[in-house]
Amino acid sequence: PVCAWVSPVRGGEAEEMASECRYEMGQEAYVKLVLHALKHPTSPVNGLLVGRLLDSSVVHIADAVPLSHSQIGLLPSLELALIQVEEHFGDKGLSVVGYYQANERFDDNELSSAAKKIGDRVFRYFPRAALLLVCRGCFELPSGFFWQPTFFIRFLIFFIWA
């Protein structure tokens, strides 16, 4: 995996399954997510995270599916996207395991109410769902530094299900 983190699982059914869950993100998912955010630096971007549960406590994020580069607020269009992604990746044994968002402002590290609603929808499909907020401020390099082909993005991981 390109990056990994461990987070407590919170809320109802998920909390009963385990007290901790490990998330691993593969290279393809990481690159798509970062390129989506970099391509639209002044717009909010969001998408779905696709993967599988490897064992009872490890979620592997294999791919990212960009949804939009504007505010997404219509739940019917989200439901359609969830169905299409599930059908497309289902043959490969993958399903929707999370949602990501990058806000348009570099100093905005808060989830919108729409993102929280989307997280609730994704949670219905996958009780160990991750909700990631990409910190755009990490894309800026201090003056005097040269761009490196490999860099790390800081994610804020939210679990909004109580």
Q: Hunting for tokens 């599930």 — which residue is that?
A: 86
pLDDT by residue (tens digit) across 71-99? 665 667 777 888 888 899 999 999 999 98
pLDDT by residue (tens digit) across 99-135? 888 877 767 777 777 777 788 888 887 888 888 888 7
Tell me the residue range of the domain where 125 lies: 3-158
State the CB neighbour count (10 A cutoff) for residue 39: 11
Answer yes or no: are the C-beta atoms of 49 and 64 closer than 8 Å. yes
Q: Which residue has the higher pLDDT, 143 or 88?
A: 88
pTM for the predicted model, two decimal places: 0.76
Number of structural domains found in the chain: 1
The residues, any chain, with a CB within 8 Å of residue 46's CB and separated by 6 or more, are: 66, 67, 68, 72, 99, 100, 101, 102, 115, 118
CATH number of the CATH domain containing 121: 3.40.140.10
